[in-house]
Structure 1
Amino acid sequence: MSIYYAWCQTCDPLKTTQAWTSGNKDVDDCIKKFQLKATSYKNVIEWIPFNKLDNVQKIGEGGFGSVFSATWLDGKRAVPKDEWALTLTQSRTPSCVVALKTLPGSQKNFLKEVEIIHLFYNIEKLVYGITQNTTNDEYLMVFQYANKGSLHEFLLSNFRELNWKSKLKQLVDISKNLIKLHEAEYIHRDFHSDDSIYGVLPYVAPEVLIERLYTLASDIYSFGIIMTEVSTGKPPHYKVEYDEILAIKICNGLRPEFAKGTPECYIQLANKCMEANPSNRPNAYDIRKNLLEWFNILDRDVAYDKNELTILKAFKSADEIIPTLSTELPDYSKDKLTSKLLNFKNLSEPINSSSAELPKIYG
């Protein structure tokens, strides 16, 4: 028995696979696969009967499927901390709010998505289980409810309070997750089938818009776009419509701006990620290596050589400029960041335009 986790690795995993069924062998096998791998009571994925979910409300929709909020009547698994107890006990919280996510397409595709969740077990508990809507037989994943909103909303709300050390920490964490996905040869993208491409236009790599083919390098392009958003606190190309005209410009080398004062090393890495030629983009390991190196320099606030001193000074200088930057979004609609079907014609072969090769700065 593990006292810390209130978990017996010998007997508890097997117990969790018993006395329940979803009514579908494939779904049961998928859930039990992860239950047998569980290393703590709180990290067990469950089959959650739909009648245990109350007040189901749609909160989002796009090419990726639909997202709902709901109250889980049973509550999530918990191990109460009692300093006087000799051992920890297995328990549950009171009812709690969770998020439900559907996926368009077949059950096989849904289970493929579920297969990815074990990659994040060592990071945080993201997924509680699987359920099935009894009105339409659609399967849904039951997630931790993130009431802080998206990265975009977080940046808008906290931009002037975030220094570059905090920004780099966010990107280091994202790149760590991306590495795990790439190690599993899984591309972190919106779901698509056949020749249909879904996504938010500025985040989609130009080769995907043309060839309808995702690769690991397509993820790297999207990461580069996120780097520009972390720099400015604003969505990419927010001043224009996300339409075919923008798609044409992206293929011709248009890239988002960076905020005034953004360190040159940061701009160069982001631009490499957004290279028109996928083979010229860095991999997730190299990206994280650079970001982590910069974060560590800022974290210890000490430079050990001239190169580190240059990096430290650049990010310190950038911190001083952050309070002067504008975070206003005139005439901006949140619907622009909703995943949509992308089906554009007459797109040219992606290039790096001469202007795109130079860092773009806004004040």
Structure 2
Amino acid sequence: MEMDKDRLPVMIFIIITLLMPPASLSAVDPLSIFCSTDARNYTPNSQFENNLKQLLESLSFNTSISGGFYNDTIGDGPSMVYGQSLCRWDVNSTVCQNCVNEASQEIFKSCKTTDAMIWYELCQIQYSYQISFSLMVYTGKYPDKNNEEKTVSNPHHFKDVLMYLMRNLSGEAAFNSSKHMFATGKVKYSEKNTIYGLQQCTRDISESNCNNCLNSALADLSECCSSHQGGTVVSRNCNVRFELYSFFNDTSSSLLNFPYSKAGDKWKTWKVVTPCASIILLAVISFCAFHLWMKKGLENIEDEEKSEVVLLHDLASPTGVTITEEGKFISSEELAFIDLATIKIATNDFSDSNKLGQGGFGTVYKGFLPDGKEVAVKRLSRKSWQGLEEFKNEVILIAKLQHRNLVRLLACGFEGEEKLLLYEFMPNKSLDVFIFDSERRAELNWKVYYSIIEGIARGLLYLHEDSRLKIIHRDLKPSNVLLDHEMVAKISDFGMARIFCENQNTANTKKVVGTYGYMAPEYAMEGLFSVKSDVYSFGVILLEIISGKRNSGFYLTEHAKTLVAYAWRLWKEGKELEFVEPLLMESWPTAEVLKCMHIALLCVQEDPEERPTMSAVVVLLGSESIDLPEPKQPAIFSVGRIRISESTTDPTSNGLTLSIVSPR
């Protein structure tokens, strides 16, 4: 029986499609789309849009013939477009071309902006008006499909096995040159179930940057999905994914053996189950006592603040147990518990000789743990109700944050009225110690200051975009930027930080808290805050580093009402060099110092929408070829325009005032 010749091509297509492995089928819907609203204005039918169309039309073919990775630029000047595309290494050229073509059409339809990214399961595309090739800026995104995954029955064991697999894969993807920055693997976590993992980096970044990107993504993956049956984190330069089924087509994928025995699992389970009765009893007693005390305290605060108070029902948690926002007990490997007796020994019973400084909400002491490790112990003031709220806020926030440029919380201690946090010790104290002291300032050259500036920027970027939560610090200032033994900048003090929902961009409060001189005007005057509030604070710090002068109190000088106003005046008059502290001019090229002044003025512009995001700031700091836009009028207001309703002087910050400011 002869087959109809007209039907033959259709039948061949159907057979080929059915024989294709799962990894060769393009996803119908994108995993995630990012359309920036902060880059610059997008004009339809402009030369930029024409160049963008041309770029997107060329990506699919060029990517498919270039081994699954391609980048290019089209146009010149303000209309230039930079583009990049990446396919998963395990798909063939046809599937790659189809996926990139589909992604190109979708990103052009969905994003009428000058900076955008789109991720599919098998490919991703990004384009921008500024150079972003080879610049590793981690911006982790969480596809909606993560929320649809079912949970596993033994989450603690599952997380151990999952992270063992993924950490092995990250080293393979980053440092095995034959893998093309792509690695897959699998590991059994029970007799019947296997975890499959995949990791990939864009091939324009270095091996170390790939490894750093993957480590950041794995931290987010652990936060969002380590108890789920599958999870994905995508970013500009790297992606990670795991499932309980084989979702890739990689013949080189290896089976790893998890190094812990079942007997060990039973022992860990026994250790968790045994103290349950005492934990529950302690929880009931602590809840009742704390609830009565909490109720009395709540009578004295405003209704708005009551709604923001996070109830930690038990502040005397046992070892290895911490509390969620809902008041539930959970085991925690990230945050240890240390008893009060150990902390007293470590700090010589909180002696004055161990005191590092005293702030508005407590005193900080230097301590030595039994293993010899140096720590900084933050002891909450017993008289401060507000301090208790900030303290609890800090516990909840910082326990979830892990980044090179954030101070690491090592442990906590709750006993009676004592509320204590143990941080990694910072031997070089804080940034203000150096920039506002003429003798100490001379100890550092511009190269060190530039590294500190980049560290602050990356820490803020993590808070705003890269961590699972969008976090606004709200009190960024030099005394809250600590320096380790290598002068690495680490942002500290999250007592005033606020968590934003994924799609939330701004918030409003009747009680404005922060430090005068570093608060954005829309926050100080109207109670409005957003990520751009932190950007403003960053800009002020940058101006202080460059000039060696404080913004707070500058109105007492004859130059201008504020340091920001003084910088703006000199910039407009073409006298920028008069603003720069002379020692900086001796240690580094003038152009780089002035570029930082330019970036700072962009950050302190009056309109929050005009200020760059921290991801844009990191790119600007890392590039020598991007043309910076002209800054507009900065936000300039003096002490006479705001009413200080409450303040506490912090001796450790050389006279800076921690203020609660009410808008008029």
Give the TM-score, by structure 2 length: 0.36
**Letter of the structure 2 residue corresponding to residue 129 of structure 1:** A
The structure-2 alpha-carbon separation of the partners of 1:163 and 1:108, relative to structure 1 and needing over 3 Å to count, comes to: closer
2:420 is aligned, of 131, 136, 140, to 140
**Letter of the structure 2 residue corresponding to residue 149 of structure 1:** K
Paired residues of 1:196 and 1:342 also in contact (CA < 8 A): yes
Deviations 1:98-153 (Å, cap 9, x if unpaired)? Answer: 3215385386654332233245434277212111253xx25232212324221011
CA distance in 2, matches of 1:17, 1:125: 33
Mapped pair 1:68 → 2:364: yes
Deviations 1:212-247 (Å, cap 9, x if unpaired)? Answer: 2321101000000111122123322555459xxx9x
2:472 is aligned, of 187, 191, 211, to 187
Q: CA deviation at 1:188?
A: 0.9
Mapped pair 1:292 → 2:614: no
Partner of 1:94: 372
Paired residues of 2:539 and 2:600 also in contact (CA < 8 A): yes
Deviations 1:58-101 (Å, cap 9, x if unpaired)? Answer: 654445x22321535x43xxxxxxxxxxxxxxxxx137453215
The structure-2 alpha-carbon separation of the partners of 1:273 and 1:225, relative to structure 1 and needing over 3 Å to count, comes to: same
The structure-2 alpha-carbon separation of the partners of 1:34 and 1:180, relative to structure 1 and needing over 3 Å to count, comes to: farther
Larger Rg: 2
CA distance in 1, matches of 2:597, 2:409: 35
Mapped pair 1:112 → 2:393: yes
CA distance in 1, matches of 2:385, 2:356: 16
The structure-2 alpha-carbon separation of the partners of 1:286 and 1:252, relative to structure 1 and needing over 3 Å to count, comes to: closer
Mapped pair 1:265 → 2:595: yes
Partner of 1:30: 322
Structure with the larger RCO, 1 or 2 (CA within 8 Å, 6+ apart):
1
DSSP 3-state at the match of 2:660: strand
CA distance in 1, matches of 2:567, 2:540: 8
Partner of 2:447: 165
Paired residues of 1:119 and 1:181 also in contact (CA < 8 A): no
**Letter of the structure 2 residue corresponding to residue 121 of structure 1:** Q
Q: CA deviation at 1:207?
A: 1.4
CA distance in 1, matches of 2:527, 2:563: 14
**Letter of the structure 2 residue corresponding to residue 153 of structure 1:** V
**Letter of the structure 1 residue corresponding to residue 453 of structure 2:** L
User: Where do 1:96-245 residues align within 5 Å?
Assistant: 96-102=374-380, 104-105=385-386, 110-118=391-399, 120-123=401-404, 126-132=408-414, 134=416, 137-155=417-435, 156=437, 157-183=439-465, 184-190=469-475, 191=495, 195-240=510-555
Give the TM-score, by structure 1 length: 0.61
Unaligned runs of 5+ in 2: 1-159, 168-258, 287-312, 476-494, 499-508, 569-578, 629-651
CA distance in 2, matches of 1:289, 1:173: 13
Partner of 2:106: none
Q: Which has the higher strand share?
A: 2
The structure-2 alpha-carbon separation of the partners of 1:170 and 1:334, relative to structure 1 and needing over 3 Å to count, comes to: closer
The structure-2 alpha-carbon separation of the partners of 1:205 and 1:250, relative to structure 1 and needing over 3 Å to count, comes to: farther
Partner of 1:325: none
DSSP 3-state at the match of 1:269: helix
Paired residues of 1:125 and 1:144 also in contact (CA < 8 A): yes
The structure-2 alpha-carbon separation of the partners of 1:149 and 1:106, relative to structure 1 and needing over 3 Å to count, comes to: closer
Identity in percent: 22
CA distance in 2, matches of 1:292, 1:162: 20
**Letter of the structure 2 residue corresponding to residue 128 of structure 1:** L
CA distance in 2, matches of 1:105, 1:231: 35
**Letter of the structure 1 residue corresponding to residue 530 of structure 2:** T
CA distance in 2, matches of 1:249, 1:13: 62
Instruction: Tell me the number of residue pairs that the alignment of Structure 1 and Structure 2 aligns.
Output: 279
Q: CA deviation at 1:196?
A: 3.5
- Give RMSD over aligned pairs: 4.5
